[in-house]
């Protein structure tokens, strides 16, 4: 059964050849596409490291408690070549993160889109000196 499943996956992947672009890790194995998340919080920590950067934000819950969420981003090298540096994510900045939650139901997620509260994309907005 398992082998049939693997074969089926292989066939589907062959058919999809060149269509889907694989990142380093299988996101489908890590994150749950049925659990989109959208949270607003303050950046508390940034790990600008390989293979993916991670950043942490404190999110205030309706009951007043605070949950620290962690989100993954791109690889430092690919971000650097787009002119995106670790200075982009400033500790204390308020950001809105939209993405998908980890399958293990921890407060980890894939940070698909990161914006400032005014809607500007954090990773691609002009640096503060050029605004």
Partner 1 sequence: MTRRYLLTAGVLAMACATAVHAQQQKGTVRTAAPINQSDLPARLRPEAKIIKGYVPPKTAWGDPQIAGAYTNSDESGIPFERPAQFDAKRLEDITPEQLAAMVRERQTQTVERTPTLSEFPGATSPLHWFENYRAANSRAWLVTDPPDGHVPPATDEANARNAARARARSAHGPADGPEDRSMYDRCITRGIPGSMMPAIYGNSYQILQGPSYVVIKYEMVNETRIIPLGPVPHLNGKIRRYLGDARGHFEGNTLVVETTNFTDKTAYRGSSEHLTLVEHFTPLGPNTVEWSVTFDDPHTWAKPWTFAMNLTKVPDEQGPFEYACHEGNYGLHNILTAARAEEAEIRAAAAKGIVKAPSAQDPDEGEK
Closest distance between partner 1 and the C-beta of residue 64, in Å? 26
Task: List phi, psi (to 5°) of 38.
Answer: -140, 115
Distance CA(26)–CA(44), nearest Å, equals 27
Contacts of 114 (CB under 8 A, 6+ apart): 71, 73, 95, 96, 97, 98, 121, 122, 123
Q: 56: Cβ–Cβ under 8 A, 6 or more apart, which residues?
A: 43, 44, 45, 46, 47, 68, 69, 70, 71
- Pick out residues in 92-121 that bind partner 1 (CB under 8 A): 98-100, 102-106, 108, 112-113, 120-121
- By the rule CB under 8 A, 5 interacts with partner 1: yes
Nearer to partner 1, 58 or 98 (CB): 98
Site map 54..73 versus partner 1, x via CB under 8 A: x-----------------x-
- Closer residue to partner 1 in complex, CB, 52/57: 52
Binding site for partner 1 (CB under 8 A): 2-3, 5-10, 13, 17-34, 36-38, 47, 49-54, 72, 74-84, 98-100, 102-106, 108, 112-113, 120-121, 123-125
């Amino acid at each position: 059964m398992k082998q049939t499943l693997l074969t089926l996956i292989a066939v589907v992947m062959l058919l999809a050849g060149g269509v889907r672009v694989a990142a380093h890790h299988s996101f489908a194995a890590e994150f749950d596409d049925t659990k989109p998340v959208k949270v607003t919080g303050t950046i508390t920590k940034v790990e600008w490291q390989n293979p993916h950067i991670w950043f942490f934000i404190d999110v205030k819950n309706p009951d007043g408690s605070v949950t620290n969420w962690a989100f993954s981003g791109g690889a430092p090298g690919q971000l650097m070549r787009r002119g995106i540096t670790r200075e982009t994510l400033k500790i204390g900045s308020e950001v809105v993160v939209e993405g998908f939650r980890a399958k293990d139901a921890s407060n980890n997620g894939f940070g698909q889109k990161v914006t400032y509260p005014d809607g500007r994309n954090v990773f691609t907005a002009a640096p503060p000196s050029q605004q």
